[in-house]
């Protein structure tokens, strides 16, 4: 801060002052007191800055945060990383199973390679058997989002546990998170028939990556409760009968138990996707949610799928987030669409009408 000495005064006054919420300017320095060798009184310590005042980019306004919604297997983590790389963001995990340590393959945690160097928070940080409620998530996610914005970066909340996201957005005292953050909601949607085929293939891939051996290594025959912690993950309870096999019936019986478990895992994953999609449709009735249809991506393979992702999902979402961060009004880009529940491709970012959001959990 530059200082100047006024010709008719005996105090040094700041030439310019930047105003921060809750902070008072320092008192003027008394030169006569200083010349007599007297110590100067220390100014009172300022209070800690509020969360709204920690990021110069949005000083005096709300911070900005992105929320990526979607059923299991739709590419939420991929989009979150794309956005983080583009806008200097950090990802906050909002999956109630993935917050727990352990069973990385069964819980389908994003790998180091998939993170592409983007910091991920609340991922594998809770002990396997511990309880972690939606209120716990709201508390920790709010704290982490404040730390991210204090670094001048953009928080990107992504995960399939819509109850956690709903608690973060609408829960707490006076919906505190919304008082601090303006939110951009992005919904990556895939029509259910196509998504069901994809999640079945993904379960097969998780099996090839060692899911069965991973669950077997953590298996405890004394455990009968699969309703707590990481053990709620689809894959753990379904493999229980296979892992308890006593040898009766020979290897043929053992193989049968394994195949039954894998089919049950696929069936339960499909049911989960339906419940998650229905919950998002309900939330979209009260939140301003931008829906992007990724169905065509999952109908393709290899390089064609990557090209479709960039064109149909990443590019329009990046453009929408850029407009959001720059406070540009994009209302004209949104069009009503009454067929959001149908499997065909629909216009990108079509808002969900109330009539199409009848399914709820």
pLDDT at 24: 41
The alpha helices in 249-351, defined as continuous H runs, are 250-283, 295-298, 302-309, 315-325
324 pLDDT tier (thresholds 50, 70, 90)? very high
CATH level 3 topology of 198-268: Helix Hairpins (1.10.287)
pLDDT in tens, 13-32: 343 333 334 434 444 545 44
Of 160, 86, 96, 151, residue with least CA distance to 118? 86
- What are the b/e assignments for 254-265, b being 16+ CB within 10 Å? eeebbeebbebb
174 pLDDT tier (thresholds 50, 70, 90)? confident
Provide mean pLDDT across the span 228-238.
96
Higher pLDDT, 61 or 259: 259
* pLDDT for 10 beyond 50: no
Does 3.40.50.300 match the CATH number of domain 58-196+276-356?
Answer: yes
pLDDT in tens, 118-147: 999 999 999 999 999 999 999 999 999 999
Provide mean pLDDT across the span 54-73.
77
Residue 262, classed as helix, strand or coil, is: helix
Q: How far apart are CA 92 and CA 155, in angstroms?
A: 7
Higher pLDDT, 236 or 327: 236
Provide mean pLDDT across the span 44-48.
41
* pLDDT for 110 beyond 80: yes
- One fold for both 58-196+276-356 and 198-268? no
pTM attached to this predicted model? 0.76
pLDDT in tens, 250-286: 889 999 999 999 999 999 999 999 999 999 999 999 9
Q: How far apart are CA 84 and CA 74, in angstroms?
A: 18
pLDDT at 166: 97
Of 145, 144, 136, residue with least CA distance to 167? 136
The average confidence (pLDDT) of the chain is 81
Q: Where are the domains of the chain?
A: 1-49, 58-196+276-356, 198-268
Higher pLDDT, 163 or 49: 163
* pLDDT for 53 beyond 60: no
330 pLDDT tier (thresholds 50, 70, 90)? low
Higher pLDDT, 5 or 60: 60
């Amino acid at each position: 801060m530059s200082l100047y000495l006024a010709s008719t005064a005996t105090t040094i006054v700041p030439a310019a002052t930047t105003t921060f919420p809750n902070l008072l300017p320092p008192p003027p320095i008394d030169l006569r007191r200083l010349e007599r060798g007297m110590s100067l009184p220390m100014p009172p310590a300022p209070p800690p800055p509020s969360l709204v005042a920690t990021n110069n980019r949005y000083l005096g306004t709300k911070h900005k945060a992105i929320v990526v919604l979607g059923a299991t297997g739709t590419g939420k983590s991929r989009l979150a990383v794309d956005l983080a790389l583009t806008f200097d963001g950090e990802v906050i995990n909002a999956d109630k199973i993935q917050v727990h340590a352990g069973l990385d393959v069964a819980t389908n945690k994003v790998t180091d390679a998939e993170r592409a160097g983007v910091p991920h928070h609340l991922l594998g940080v809770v002990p396997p058997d511990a309880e972690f409620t939606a209120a716990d998530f709201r508390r920790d996610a709010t704290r982490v989002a404040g730390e991210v914005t204090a670094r001048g970066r953009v928080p990107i909340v992504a995960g399939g546990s819509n109850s956690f996201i709903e608690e973060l957005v609408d829960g707490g005292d006076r919906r505190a998170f919304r008082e601090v953050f303006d939110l951009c909601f992005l919904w990556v949607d895939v029509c259910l028939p196509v998504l069901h085929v994809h999640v079945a293939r993904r379960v097969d891939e998780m099996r090839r990556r060692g899911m069965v051996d991973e669950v077997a290594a953590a298996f405890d025959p004394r455990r009968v409760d699969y309703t707590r912690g990481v053990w709620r993950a689809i894959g753990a309870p379904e493999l229980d009968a296979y892992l308890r096999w006593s040898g009766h019936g020979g290897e043929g019986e053992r193989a049968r138990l394994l195949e039954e478990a894998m089919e049950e895992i696929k069936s339960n994953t499909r049911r989960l996707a339906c419940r998650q999609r229905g919950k998002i449709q309900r939330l979209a009735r009260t939140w301003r949610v931008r829906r992007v249809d990724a169905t065509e991506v999952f109908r393709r393979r290899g390089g064609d799928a990557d090209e479709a992702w960039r064109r149909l999902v990443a590019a329009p979402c990046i453009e929408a987030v850029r407009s959001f961060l720059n406070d540009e009004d994009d209302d004209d880009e949104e069009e009503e669409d009454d067929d959001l529940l149908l499997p065909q491709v629909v216009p990108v970012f079509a808002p969900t009408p109330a009539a199409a959001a009848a399914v709820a959990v």
